[in-house]
Chains A and B, each alone.
Chain A
Amino acid sequence: MRQSAKKVIVAALIIGVFLLYSLTHMRSGLAAAPPSTDTAGGAPTTTTASGPANSSGAPAGSGYKNGSYTGSVADAQWGYIQVKAVIAGGKITDVQFLQYPNERQYSVQVNSFADPQLTQEAIQAQSAQVDIITGATDSSEAFMQSLSDALSQATA
């Protein structure tokens, strides 16, 4: 889990950096690396990549203003994440984690993942017909009230 979490973070950072990189190039009026459709100007216009010449056309990272920027809180399924990006010289120089699922919770999840005999999966609704259903005891007052009522009608 620790490894896969790292992979997710690294992948997110790579995607983030790529998007910022693309954005920077779009803002400086130049084409992004892959062919892309630009709808910003109203009618879609297709631009094509033209290699390193682009990056030499404008100062790298010219789209950023220097400073520290706090991101929104994001639900990462296993906890909340919030980061702060530090920009210096028009470039990202640091990404700090302001919120991260706490270590104790995290390490416990690591342990269960690392267990070779156990298997993990995301739960998924099943369409199978069943005779009986197992679940936590349902005795909420509203439920019992409703069921009592239904049963009293059924036996009337």
Chain B
Amino acid sequence: MVKQTRLLMGMPITVLAQDADATQDDLDQVFDYFQSVDERFSVYKATSEVSRLNRGELAADQLSVDLREALALGEQTRRETHGYFDMLRDGVCDPSGVVKGWAIQRASELLRARGCASFYIDAGGDIAVAGLRDGALWRVGIRNPFDRAQIVKALAVTDCGVATSGTAVRGQHIYNPHDLATPLEEIVSLTVIGPNVCDADRFATGAFAMGRAGVRFIEDLPGFDAYMIDRHGMATYTSGFERYTVRV
């Protein structure tokens, strides 16, 4: 078993590979990948491909395959969430809403390709899990948005993605694109479980922007479940959510 945490893309990223033959080299490959994604997709780095795109220095046919894929995924998500997910803000394209989950997904595929079967990748609270931990399901806790030392749910999962969008720690960093002036405040945390972390993350982001209606949106998505917490500490969850929960 190898495990390591590094600060990349402005967040702590932890990788744990449970397989007996997993090595530090496997972890290094994953972190190198996140590093390269940050260099290419960050809107905060002037030299990134995304920054060059926003400055008009790159034509559509000059974009890398990866960026094209990320932009296509962002556009697909915008349509699927009825415009609630939108990479464009103030005329600037910021694909970070899809890139994070997409990069975690790519990194987990990279680990699989290297022969790892049981692992997790946690990038700032968005998680890909694969296989089992010592023969048991991975246990994922949902953090209490009002007290970061606590969890309010324990989930038992395997081969899936878990992502949370919220306002608790970072302040209001998600806006309703249909009403930019009003920060979202009714809902403080929306956790989505899905078949992979890429989809869980983009739907968590899009559904969070919908406010109370977000959990209903996830209910209608086959294969996805959600746990939503409002500012009063009341949670609303989808019909399939309870099968993941661990009772203590």
Contacts and interface: CB of A to CB of B under 8 A. Distances in A.
6 contacts: A118-B219, A119-B241, A123-B233, A131-B120, A132-B129, A134-B191
B153 A126 contact: yes
A56 interface: no
B248 A136 contact: no
Contact of B164 (A78, A120, A125, A136): A136
Which interface class (under 10, 10 to 19, 20 to 34, 35 or more) fits A? 35 or more
Given A117-B239, A120-B235, A120-B236, A137 B150 contact: no
Given A118-B238, A128-B246, A123 B152 contact: yes
A122 interface: yes
Interface in B142-179: 142-145, 147-148, 150-154, 162-170
Main secondary structure, interface of B, reads strand
B38 interface: no
B237 interface: yes
Given A109-B212, A126-B154, A135 B239 contact: no
Given A108-B212, A136-B170, A131 B235 contact: no
Interface string A80-109: 000000000000000000000000010011
A124 B154 CA distance: 11
Contacts of B83: none
A119 B241 CA distance: 10
Which are the 5 A-B pairs with shortest beta-carbon distances? A136-B166, A135-B143, A128-B154, A130-B141, A137-B124
A133 B151 contact: yes
Contacts of B10: 139, 144
B42 to A, nearest CB: 13
A37 interface: no
Contact of A121 (B140, B162, B215, B234): B234
B11 interface: yes
Contacts of B186: 105, 108
B229 interface: yes
Given A121-B235, A125-B144, A126-B153, 16 more contacts: A77-B232, A108-B211, A117-B238, A118-B216, A118-B219, A123-B234, A132-B127, A132-B138, A133-B122, A133-B143, A137-B11, A137-B126, A138-B124, A139-B170, A144-B7, A151-B7
Given A117-B219, A147-B12, A139 B140 contact: no
B183 to A, nearest CB: 14
